[in-house]
Amino acid sequence: MSGWYGVAWRAGRVMMRVLLLEDHPALREMMTDHLAQRGFAVDPVGCAGDARVALDAVSYDVLILDLGLPDGDGIAILREIRTRTAGGLPILVVTARDALEDRVQGLNAGADDYIVKPFDLLELEARLRAVLRRPGTRDKLTLCCGGLAFDPASRQTTVGGVVLDLTRRETDLLEQLLRAAGRVVIKDVLEDRLYSFGEPVTTNAVEAAVSRLRKRLTNAAGGVRIETMRGIGYRLVAGDDA
């Protein structure tokens, strides 16, 4: 798969979505591969412009930000992203700038942690997990639309406090649609995120999953509906179930 949608790998537990902004192609690929193998879903991009597009389209759990970018000053972009994600998106800065004043400037600009290149991928992973464990990081992860509420930690979907009985695949699909509520999720992206590498997938697998989830949401009267954008993908919007 190409583009900023990146790699998604599922290991039977809560999948944390990472936006990786790193302009060095080889390092970006190494970081993406390592984190994907460790159970993260990674969207790798190489410039600030692509990062802005990704942030507008997806709700991320954490951002890894390289300060040396081809299309802007890293500190300025850090401040901008902090403003754009007022809900408190955790940000881990990765940079070759190792002077004390650079580290202080990065932290003061909004970084939650700061790691200097070169670094070991295991240290990167450990720092990433530490940032995600901080109090308040998971509080913002309850996803809501209409009468639906989804808790990624428990993997439970509720309507008016009543838990919906969804399959794992239906839960995964609903999470992806909720994270982009109101925006279209491209069909190919859903396929990559719902099915692991090597898993056989029929040509109409996504359509069938959407159909099953749509029926369950209608029966639950959750106040949402799944719209089909023919030839493109699907989006979840608040409104009548019919």
Whether residue 147 has pLDDT greater than 50: yes
Whether residue 8 has pLDDT greater than 50: no
Position 114 scores a pLDDT of 92
CA dihedral over 32, 170, 51, 102, signed as positive or negative: negative
Confidence class for position 87, pLDDT limits 50, 70, 90: low
Please check whether residue 226 is in contact with residue 236, taking contact to mean a CB–CB distance below 8 angstroms. yes
Please check whether residue 236 is in contact with residue 181, taking contact to mean a CB–CB distance below 8 angstroms. yes
Position 34 scores a pLDDT of 92
Whether residue 96 has pLDDT greater than 80: yes
Please check whether residue 25 is in contact with residue 58, taking contact to mean a CB–CB distance below 8 angstroms. no
Position 155 scores a pLDDT of 79
Q: Please measure the distance between the N-terminal and C-terminal CA atoms of the chain and give it in whole angstroms.
A: 34
Whether residue 24 has pLDDT greater than 90: yes
What's the CA gap between 166 and 52, in Å, rounded?
33
Whether residue 242 has pLDDT greater than 80: no
Task: Indicate the pTM of the whole model.
Answer: 0.56
Whether residue 92 has pLDDT greater than 90: yes
Condensed to tens digits (0 to 9), the pLDDT of residues 46-76 reads 999 999 888 877 778 899 999 989 998 888 8
Residues 6+ apart with CB under 8 A from 186: 5, 232, 233
Average pLDDT over the chain reads 82
Tokens for 94, please give them: 């990765």
- Rg of the chain (C-alpha set): 19
Say which amino acid occupies 206: V
What's the CA gap between 110 and 91, in Å, rounded?
8
What's the CA gap between 203 and 211, in Å, rounded?
14
Position 7 scores a pLDDT of 36
Q: How many CB atoms lie within 10 A of CB 204?
A: 10
136-193-113-98 Cα dihedral, nearest 10 degrees: -170
Condensed to tens digits (0 to 9), the pLDDT of residues 178-225 reads 888 788 888 888 887 777 555 566 778 889 999 999 999 999 888 899
Residue of 81 and 210 predicted with greater confidence: 210
**HSE-CB for 97 with a 13 A CA cutoff:** 20
Tokens for 10, please give them: 């599922």
